Structure 1
Amino acid sequence: MAHKIIMLGGRRAGKSSILAVMLNALREMPGDLCTINDLTDYDEKVVDKHGIEHAKPTLRTKCLEIKSYLQKRTLIGTNTKFIVDMNRSNTAIRYNLQASIGGTARTTFEFIDVPGEWMRQNVPEHAELKKIIEESDVYIIAIDTPFLMEADEDVNSVYNRTLEISDAMGHMRTFSNEAKDKKMIIFVPVKCEKWMYAGEIDTVFEKMKLAYKNLINQWVENPDVEMWCMPAITSGGIQFYKLLPGDKVFRTAEQKIGEKCSKDPITGTIYLPDGQTLSPRRIDRLETDMSQEIDHTFIPLSWYETNGKAFTPQFSEQPVYHLIRFLVKKEVGLANLKLNNLTAWQRFKQFFGWTPPFGKNLPAFTSLINTLSARGLIKENGDGYHRITETIE
């Protein structure tokens, strides 16, 4: 078993964050069940938007960054507002994880974090995206919940790349004949603390269905495609505050480079990324931040605040539990197909104890899934969790 999982979503939607906390949660899986090892080649370089090479960020480092950032913001206080990093990556980042049971039964997962800009059909990387989509088994679509819930339809479509993802997913390939190439699509609303804690997470599910209607309707009636909505809380202590216009403030007439900020249209308060506030009376001028324009659409800044909670991710392990269950079912189907296609000589050898080389790890991973289910660790419903089985009108 070796499987490819692609992470899709808009710029800074939270793909790498959800992957980092997923691994963190899996490392805390009861040791008697399964061991997760990170086999990623971290010597590989990634390229930022300026074309500069950097070391590939480790998933552990990413998780520690979230914890550290939350601790710093908590020390400052809950009254300050701040924005998250909205810079983009130009490189698809690949992470390789291995799940092992008893030291012998192993399966590997290649998670591919694809830049949101690759969704555009007019970029050269779009061809590579289509190839990865064709080859993948599972598709995790990270959804920036504040933009889904608070932005207008056009802004959300551009920021979360909803239509472009739907179009790109048209390149997903399934075969209802001998290959039994089943696929799984998992919609993961992230940064959803505000709605989860208010008991309104099902409203996120309802809006998500409408935003991704084209994608859902394209595949929902295909028996080889399984679709879920699985909201995840990646930090717990950072909560969405408000979408505000992206501006630049010049404190004096002599200042040549403006500072990124937002002016609250109701209170007039000017918020700076570091949590400071300015009074409009103490500045020279305010200008629209043209760097916030994406595809002829001005994207507001998404402001957050701490809510007093510690680093408390929730449900971040669930996508992996579900995808392992799905992949086990898929492998069982493939193994049965291969058994049915054994030659007469192979069947003769099997009668005398010969074991086919395929599917040898399946009993161990089937037992893992059965144990997770028996312990109630695989979440099926509640908290915005839904299996998507119907066409969206």
Structure 2
Amino acid sequence: MTAALETSERLRRWRLALGSEAEGCCGGLGGDDTRMDAALAGLYGGGPGAGGGRLGRSAGLGSSAPTVARWLGDIREFFPTTVVQLMQQDAIERLNLKQLLLEPELLESVEADVHLVGTLLSLNKLMPEETKETARTVVRKVVDELEAQLAQGFRAAVSGALNRAARTNRPRPRDIDWNRTIRANLKNYQPEYRSVVPERLIGYARAARAVKRDVVLAIDQSGSMAASVVYASLFGAVLASMRALKTSLVVFDTEVVDLTPELADPVDVLFGTQLGGGTDINRAIAYSQSLITRPTDSIFVLISDLYEGGVRAEMLRRVAQMTAAGVQVIVLLALSDEGAPSYDRQNAAALAALGVPAFACTPDRFGPLMAAAIERRDLSQFAGEEV
């Protein structure tokens, strides 16, 4: 590209970023750039009621579904999917478009992602009947896409851990793990025969139908945890499908709802939640304790930002009771790709003092984390990977 073309392209981009007031120094726009500029101006306007934004922006999306639908079509035409999803989220937050998402025609034209699912779930109780089926279709699409991306690797990690946890020193011949057996008996190597004498056999117990671990997921459904609720519901459904695990899932705000009967379908789980409201972690832990009957074979996963509205001292006492009884307790501040979350640092420090570090986890690392918990390995490495 020549220097003149590079300069022209640079000015064009600055003009799109800064808006119409930069036209004097950056030049005008033509063709599709005019429509792209209008799409940006509609969202990032600086005029009254537009929520602030870039210099020179003064338009808005208005309040009609047709206007918003046209704007959604334009941004899909000019920007990649990831940018479209970000702009949609900005539009919902900056221009208060939540009410328009209750219209089926508009909902069908939205680019679905985890954040949109969170918004729809927060509007669940307000949706008219004619919108609910469309909303379920949108949520189903996102869940199916996430399942295709994450479920196979997650299932493999957990299944592998369950198999390793079932090792025995008296395996049947076909169940011998020869690699581990050889490593365990290298001291018995016979040079003259170039062989290892396997005094101790290591293999897998054939107890595939036995329940090896009980897993209780407790998910904070306050508004800030929306993405975590989506991912946890998906992973909960995968865990529930594995016969070697007994999986329970509860969601909570100031009340606790047991959604275990809905675990066959993560979409049903999601529509059983109600994002928003207060938080009573102590109450949720108390209910979760009642589900645990085999402490040394149980894993309790609390997914919460730890902003406690209940009795803090009781919450910490219950966690201490669980760990003392042998329960593997995991506290995730977030289960999402959103980066370092906002959380109650005082409560996180108090949990760490009890030997329960609180950390964030990205969805792709949740499988290895659960595998380590099943095998009762040290989880501190995951705390060091905090997002």
Q: By the TM > 0.5 criterion, same fold?
A: no
Task: Looking at secondary structure, tell me which structure has more strand per residue.
Answer: 1
TM-score (norm 2): 0.30
Task: Looking at secondary structure, tell me which structure has more helix per residue.
Answer: 2
TM-score (norm 1): 0.30
Of structures 1 and 2, the larger Rg is shown by 2
Q: Whose relative contact order is higher, 1 or 2, with alpha carbons under 8 Å and at least 6 apart?
A: 1
